[in-house]
Amino acid sequence: MLKLGVNIDHVATVREARYRGRGRGEPDPVAAALLCEAAGCHGITAHLREDRRHIQDRDVVRLRESIRTRLNFEMANAPEIVAIALKLKPAVVCLVPERRQEVTTEGGLDVARHRKALAATRQRMNDAGIEVSLFIAPEIDQVEAAAEVGAQFVELHTGQYAEHFSRKRERNVELRRLVDAATLAHRHGLRVNAGHGLNCENLPVLHIVPHLVELNIGHSIVSRAMAVGLPKAVKEMLALMKGYRD
Rounded Cα distance, 136 and 201, in Å: 23
Query: Is 74 annotated as catalytic?
Result: yes
Catalytic residue among 74, 98, 139, 214: 74
For residue 209, report the phi and psi dihedrals to the nearest 5 degrees.
Answer: -75, 125
> What pLDDT score was predicted for residue 56?
98
- Predicted pLDDT at 23: 86
47, 54, 157, 186: the active-site residue:
47
For the segment 88-109, the average pLDDT, to the nearest whole number, is 80
pLDDT tens string 15-67: 999 999 898 899 999 999 999 999 999 999 999 999 999 999 999 999 999 99
Closest CA to 135 of 186, 221, 199, 193: 193
Average pLDDT over residues 77-103: 89
The region that residue 211 occupies, defined by phi over 0 for left and psi between -120 and 50 for alpha, beta otherwise, is left
47 is catalytic: yes
pLDDT at residue 104, rounded to an integer: 55
Q: Name the band, by pLDDT with cuts 50, 70 and 90, for residue 99.
A: low
* Residue 161: burial class (beta carbons within 10 Å; 0-12, 13-18, 19+): buried
Write the pLDDT tens digit of every residue in 77-86: 999 999 999 9
DSSP run (H or E) holding 192? strand 191-195
Examine the pLDDT at 101 and tell me if it is beyond 90: no
Is the bond preceding 27 in cis, omega lying within 30 degrees of 0?
yes
Domains contained in the chain, CATH given:
3-241 (3.20.20.70)
Mean pLDDT of the chain, nearest integer: 96
Q: Is 106 a catalytic residue?
A: no
At 131-151, the pLDDT tens digits run: 999 999 999 999 999 999 999
Q: What is the mean pLDDT of residues 174-196?
A: 98
Looking at the predicted structure, is the pLDDT value of residue 127 above 70? Answer: yes
Q: Out of 25-34, 97-106, 219-228, which region has the weakest mean confidence (pLDDT)? A: 97-106
**Confidence band, pLDDT 50/70/90 cuts, at residue 178:** very high
Q: What is the pLDDT of residue 100?
A: 56
- pLDDT tier at 168, thresholds 50, 70, 90: very high
- What is the average pLDDT across 93-101? 83
How does residue 211 score in pLDDT terms, banded at 50, 70 and 90?
very high
